[in-house]
Structure 1
């Protein structure tokens, strides 16, 4: 596919003189042009690799020119970064005649300019290859679904969705993939010549759940986290907002304080009697049958049932019962504020902010009454929904509404100033455990 003439005309245009519609049209068409250029560059990168085959030795293209590897040669001649050159070579191979057949839809999407090189790469890595438990045809179907989603999804959400589809197709392999991620964890302290020490590392999902819970608790008031209603929490939040330290400095000081406290407490007790606030989400059926995935709240990666059982044994589990349609048990009360148990139920069902395209985790959210409480709306989990502070205020102050749709469930209704037709926008839940429970219930009917 060649770039359209209108897209090319945007090159060199001055965006300051454009109206809003033209500005967005230009950005959209330039994005398509960039994807087409990336696709062509990927094809060239794949051919560079083909001409630099290992069996050709020093006669291969990359070796002959002193680059060592085809990725390094692509980096040198195209001016891209090391990471970009590696991605171009990997994805470029999807555009060749020897491409993996189950990823054909991805290659077609890249060539047509619908899927960027980066998004194609996360689809490929997230889905993996066929195995004894996963057929190539099933992977091909999953790849086609991801290609359709790619234009409207961020790279991070698309990567998570690709891994979710692989987990759905290969529940038996969840434990192996969990172990693979755990094997990649590390933490290093590197003394620098200026007297500072650099800390870097990678956290596996189970470790990230623990660290993220502490990080959110320490910093959320400075990062747009939920508002507080009790005086003690409000006072602490106000002090943190007024703190002269940067967010990074607060984070590091919190980390150091946790390490210091942990070394000073009595043996066998860390951070006193209170344990980290990490919740395990798993269906009763999967837990009984010891199969399928489980999830840690605010983490997108599946963990094995064995790891879930370890958390249940070590820290206990918050029991949240669901109806057959995936709704948490109704716990309606006459008071205005949702109870902590109701918030746990909403977190398990929603998985985070339900507003379209928001990725805030459940720990950053506030419980919103779909029907305003002052208008008789019940404080009930069925009529509650988690919204981050920003979107909670947006709904209250900017004319948005939340309704129930017979097909999509919860939907956001924009104000007429944004969409005169006020077409409903689906608000899908982000909790994979709740989604799995719903799917299981439907199969049983």
Structure 2
């Protein structure tokens, strides 16, 4: 499994001085060299795995060196990513004496440099293991076909072909395998320290299909879409090709628009009784004086006032103006329960549970009457305050009270059992727009 001498000579070569034939020869031979290096690294990774057996406990190689897992140790010593180290360990095992016999052709392809580590991994994952319905010999035949296709087939197509062959061999369990894929689906969102939001998702085939259809429709002209189209489609394609946004930005903007449009059609059908809308929070003072910033929902980072101007009357947006005394809306009502519009106003002003040190968001909160309803308290945003369920129960069941203070606004009054002096505890709003009024 030693690299050929010509391939090594390309290391450090200057491709700008090569003619076309030499350039492509160098790329091809360096690709082969890379595959051979990865195959060797995979063998090393598999041995690291072997010397880090679970039964060895802290005496195993990875545990002894403080890496925790063999994959983490491979990642540390070889400088590859976490995903690459995991792949190297899995595929490296195809080149050991303990390799699965039905994948022998794939292991041979990796060892010869014909099959890359990544392609070997998708073959292994796609074919799976023998079962009562699938014999090892049948899997071996499928693996041999895939090993033959691997050098000229893309990773994505090879993975699809591997799954297809498995389905052909085990048609009775297609439903179970698709159910297993669906069980892996997820969608996570997290707010990064720089103010951006990161989305990480894994979609099963059925869930992913609408996304692919929308993505293709929005971006295909940039990616070499159909040339023979009517004049209207041709003009639209031309605009997309000439768009200054990146391909990823076009895709993101498209999905945001689709989400906005979908939630405007019949929000109750998709999102239940709670109406979905983006809230644009801005103070009247900032709009008048053109200072400061507006805020989207409870996102902590301000956006330019021009965005508030643009969205304030837009469909699907709830504009909330904070008056100079800090109240977003005064909607006195004879009804006991706060309306959806009032709850939007409370969420905009409070930003979440107002109880000190509580971090529960507005969506987890209940609207509390500062003056109890039974004592004639109005269902008005001036006397309503958002509390999470825990603190709402604390107020009602444990003798706490909510009052207003000219300096702090809402304050919590503890019972004498907690503080004999019953000193008011400030309940500052978490809304960034409301906070500007306190400056």
| TM-score, normalised by the number of residues in structure 2 | 0.57
Distance 1:17 1:218 in 2: 40
Q: Deviations over 1:51-101 (max 9, x none)?
A: 111111111111111111111111112222211111111111111111111
The structure with higher relative contact order (CA 8 Å, sep 6+) is 1
Residue in 1 aligned with 2:15? 15
* Pair 1:64–1:14, CA change in 2 (3 A): same
Residue in 2 aligned with 1:152? 152
1:168, distance to aligned residue in structure 2 (A): 1.2
Residue in 2 aligned with 1:172? 172
**Partner SS state of residue 221, structure 2:** helix
Matches of residues 115-194 of structure 1 in structure 2 within 5 Å? Answer: 115-194=115-194
**Partner SS state of residue 138, structure 1:** helix
**Partner SS state of residue 223, structure 1:** coil
Distance 2:56 2:187 in 1: 39
Q: Deviations over 1:144-195 (max 9, x none)?
A: 1111111111222211111111111111121111111211222222223333
1:231, distance to aligned residue in structure 2 (A): 4.4
Q: Deviations over 1:108-143 (max 9, x none)?
A: 111122211111111111110001111000000111
Distance 1:176 1:228 in 2: 42
Q: Which runs of 5+ in 2 are unaligned?
A: 271-439
Matches of residues 430-441 of structure 1 in structure 2 within 5 Å? Answer: none
* Pair 1:4–1:262, CA change in 2 (3 A): closer
Residue in 1 aligned with 2:206? 206
**Partner SS state of residue 256, structure 1:** helix
* Pair 1:97–1:212, CA change in 2 (3 A): same
* Pair 1:17–1:258, CA change in 2 (3 A): closer
* Pair 1:4–1:186, CA change in 2 (3 A): same
Residue in 2 aligned with 1:226? 226
Distance 1:68 1:19 in 2: 49
1:29, distance to aligned residue in structure 2 (A): 1.9
Distance 2:238 2:17 in 1: 42
**Partner SS state of residue 3, structure 1:** coil
Residue in 1 aligned with 2:317? none
Distance 2:26 2:267 in 1: 63
Distance 1:228 1:31 in 2: 36
* Pair 1:193–1:131, CA change in 2 (3 A): same
* Pair 1:110–1:176, CA change in 2 (3 A): same
**Partner SS state of residue 33, structure 2:** helix
Distance 1:221 1:113 in 2: 36
Number of matched residues? 270
| TM-score, normalised by the number of residues in structure 1 | 0.57
Q: Which runs of 5+ in 1 are unaligned?
A: 271-445
Matches of residues 287-306 of structure 1 in structure 2 within 5 Å? Answer: none
**Partner SS state of residue 120, structure 2:** helix
Residue in 2 aligned with 1:46? 46
1:269, distance to aligned residue in structure 2 (A): 8.1
Distance 1:9 1:250 in 2: 42
Distance 1:210 1:131 in 2: 33
Distance 1:207 1:42 in 2: 34
1:12, distance to aligned residue in structure 2 (A): 2.3
Query: Is the deviation greater in 10-19 or in 175-184?
Result: 10-19
Distance 2:267 2:60 in 1: 61
Matches of residues 361-440 of structure 1 in structure 2 within 5 Å? Answer: none
**Partner SS state of residue 198, structure 1:** strand
Distance 2:150 2:231 in 1: 45
Query: Is the deviation greater in 222-231 or in 118-127?
Result: 222-231
**Partner SS state of residue 97, structure 1:** coil
Q: CA RMSD in A?
A: 2.2
Matches of residues 1-150 of structure 1 in structure 2 within 5 Å? Answer: 1-150=1-150
**Partner SS state of residue 190, structure 2:** strand
1:242, distance to aligned residue in structure 2 (A): 4.7
* Pair 1:60–1:245, CA change in 2 (3 A): closer
